[in-house]
Chain A
Amino acid sequence: MDAEISWSIPADSAELAGVRARLRAILGSAGFDDKAVGEVLLAVDERLSNIIRHAYAGRREGRIDLKVFFQPHQARISVRDYGERFNPLKAPLPQLPPTQPGGLGNFLTRALMDEVHYDETCTDGNLLHLIKYLKNKKPAA
């Protein structure tokens, strides 16, 4: 059965641990194993950190909306902000291992999820959809 959970947070790095704890509980109860949960937590955390650092440039009054949408074979986490527009999927990936500190966050978000989509129709900020398949099985088309 499809289900949806949504909430909002201020663009404050102090919120990150709380989001991870909530996501861990939500995904664990939905049947995702520890490895998959860890990957989603890190991918979402990196996206949120990127928004706080770049889209809002440290302005804590900014808002971030999170939506977790479950379908039978996958979870989709949508992260919406109202800051400066930037498509992370168009950013070049870093050389690995990195020789300079920084630049790994966007790579981790993309590497740890099964699908990542940037919604170009969202014109007042950014909307990124992060998808993880249950037990790493892509749902039938």
Chain B
Amino acid sequence: MKISERKNGEVVVFELAGELDFHTSPELREKMQAVSQKPGHRMIVNLKKVSYIDSSGLATFVEALQKAKRSGGKLVLTDLAVSVKSVFEIAKLDKVFTLAASETEALSMTAA
């Protein structure tokens, strides 16, 4: 799993590539937690190059979403592959997260 982090204005964008599982999710969790500590943070996670996700990956995002809600922050997930989105759907998490079709759309959602 490759995790790159950049800033677009005040928004932190994580771009992931590879497979997100029980082995790789702790590193992402740690990086997202560092951002989540800031009240009112805005975060986008681009999953375009993620080919696989398991429950550990889902849990990482659920935890980040909880922190965002508690601190007045925002978390938007974007560019989910069909195989990845289907795992969110099985767990009914597609209705809980803000999902965008592109990073441009995600940026507008974090501003809203």
Contact = CB atoms under 8 A, between A and B. Distances in A.
B56 A49 contact: yes
Contacts, number: 65
The secondary-structure label for the interface of chain A is helix
A97 B61 CA distance: 13
Given A45-B21, A49-B22, A101-B62, 6 more contacts: A13-B21, A45-B54, A49-B56, A104-B58, A105-B55, A105-B56
Interface stretch (B5-13, B39-47, B87-95): B87-95
Interface of A: 13-14, 16-17, 20, 38, 41-42, 45-46, 49, 52-53, 96-98, 100-102, 104-105, 107-108, 111-112
Given A42-B87, A96-B91, A111-B90, A102 B59 contact: yes
A16 B83 CA distance: 18
Nearest to A101: B59
A98 B91 contact: yes
A49 B54 contact: yes
B19 interface: yes
Contacts of A96: 91-92
